[in-house]
Amino acid sequence: MVQKRLLCPERVRKIPKQFSWIDQRLVRERHIERLSHRTAALYLFLVTVADARGLSYYSDPGISQRLGMDAGTLDSARQELVRLGLIAYQSPLYQVLELEQQAPTLRPSSLYSLQQIFKQMGGAHD
């Protein structure tokens, strides 16, 4: 029997404020747009089977069978999730990680406002 232990204790996932184990920030903050279909499928599988702390120890053959992926595709998807900071992995243990906070991005309207300010100050010309 595999002994479950946290791989990344500082990033234990918590139940999000909205009603879902899948954090809606995955879409709102565009994390999902960085995932290939195979990687998104693996992430969904891991979120679904993980315990309250994000831990799972499904075997590679079991995951491959359930997702219809060969071993190479599974390995590639897993590496992508690790690289993106969405999971931690130490065979045979997976940990779905809490989503990292992203830095706020400037909106085009904010940049336009800065341009207007510089124009008013005489620092920019058309």
pTM of the model: 0.68
- Residue 124 vs residue 79, higher pLDDT: 79
Could you tell me which CATH number the domain at 9-100 has?
1.10.10.10
Is residue 1 scored above 80 in pLDDT? no
pLDDT tens-digit series, residues 26-82: 888 888 999 999 999 999 999 989 888 889 999 999 999 999 999 999 999 999 999
Q: How confident is the model at residue 117 (pLDDT cuts 50, 70, 90)?
A: low
Residues in the chain: 126
Domain limits of the chain?
9-100
Return the sign of the alpha-carbon dihedral for residues 93, 35, 44, 98.
positive
Check if the beta carbon of residue 77 is closer than 8 Å to that of residue 41.
yes
Q: Rounded to an integer, what distance in angstroms lies between the CA atom of residue 33 and that of residue 15?
A: 22
The DSSP string of the chain is -PPP--S-GGGB----SSS-SS-THHHHTSGGGG--HHHHHHHHHHHHH--TTSEE---HHHHHHHHT--HHHHHHHHHHHHHTTSEEEETTEEEEBPPPPPPP---HHHHHHHHHHHHHHT----
